Amino acid sequence: MYRLGGIERNYEWGSKDAIPWLTSQPVTDTPVAELWFGTHETGPAKLLDHDTDLREAIAGDPIGTLGADIQARFGSALPFMLKLIAPAKPLSLQVHPCAEDAAEGFKREEAAGIALDDPIRNYRDANHKPELVFALTKLEAMCGFRAPRRAIELLAGLDCDITNRLVAVLQSDPTSSGMERAFALLISGPRSPDPDDVAQVAALCAKRRAAGTSPSPRADAIVELLQQEYPGDPGVLAALLLNPVTLRAGEALFVPSGTVHAYLSGLAIEIQATSDNVLRAGLTHKHVDISEMLQCVDFVAAPPIRLAPELFGVATEVFYAPVDDFELSITRLREPHGEQQIRGAGPRIIMCVDGKIKIRDEAGSREQLKSGQALFVRADDGKVYARGSGTLVQADVP
């Protein structure tokens, strides 16, 4: 087992205190948006007791660290990344590409000579990026498109130029094709709303919510929030086309590649395929490439994919995502449980998110984790056992 040091990402939307509090680190004026534990080349986790990082350790012994099966399926790299994510204000309106789009886009940008750290780079690797988010506190988000007729209901009562145009598009074609046209009209082209148009719609949403006449007070409140944080951005109005999502602590959401989404607030664990490919359409000061983003979006209306866990024993819940790259388990331990085997095999990252937990593996190594600390378990470490009082999060491969 290796003790891991996570890599901070200090994006402007991050909370200044949520991750530092969980990891017992000093709170400063710098936002800590994410803490990465993985092998992505732009931020591989450190091995705290060795003069190297996790990416190099795996490359030096892929069979011992990953096991023959995982190495054969995914090559000499960890197929998943585990993160803490703490939005204090809304993230960008974004989508992650599927594997085919990512491979093509990465090849194209490599051929163009765009550096991996160039701000205009869309594809920082050739992998897809499905993700599962597990809420540690209440988490607010938008995810996937509403049914066109439900979107019409939200737009119709606002009666201004941009909303009337969106309603006309959706009424003429209440299918995924119509939603594609409406979304494209909203965020791109010469007829997309200007800042005054966005402000007008946000004011109308606030007015009807205050009057108690809104068909969706929740959606209107999100429009108001987005307008406050990103005034005049056309992406503000996307809240009227997308599904709102609230996760309570302990609930999980799966976000497939191609799904438009934005996290709004909260603290969560995120597990994803090893990728940093993000295509943005607004609500950000980072690079926006609307035409590239639109090519990768799935416009079919669908409810958010909430995952129900399967229970193993007295302590462990496992969330199975419909991908080959990862699964997530949550183990809640109490001293009366005694020592419990942590379900799973192969390469794993185990993180403590509260309490203190003693860990031992079949090879004889022992470690103690407190909140915010993490371990990488090699495939050849064998079975893992834990005891104590607290909660462990484990990322592994199905």
Q: At what angle do helices 176-187 and 148-156 cross, to 10 degrees?
A: 40
Q: Residue 211: exposed, middle, or buried by beta-carbon count in 10 A (0-12, 13-18, 19+)?
A: exposed
Q: Would the CA dihedral through 35, 352, 395, 88 be positive or negative?
A: negative
Total Cβ atoms within 10 A of residue 204 = 18
360 is catalytic: no
Residue 59's φ and ψ, nearest 5 degrees, are -60, -30
Element (H, E) at 359: strand 348-361
d(CA 128, CA 133): 16
Q: Give the list of residues 6+ apart from residue 60 with CB closer than 8 angstroms, or none.
A: none
User: 357 with 387: CB under 8 angstroms?
Assistant: yes
- Pick from 397, 320, 355: which is nearest to 82 by CA? 397
Element (H, E) at 357: strand 348-361
* Catalytic pick among 280, 332, 366, 387: 280
Q: Give the list of residues 6+ apart from residue 78 with CB closer than 8 angstroms, or none.
A: 38, 39, 54, 58, 66, 274, 347
Structure tokens at 55: 């990416």
Check residue 392 and give left, alpha or beta (phi > 0: left; psi -120 to 50: alpha).
beta
Catalytic sites, residue numbers: 280
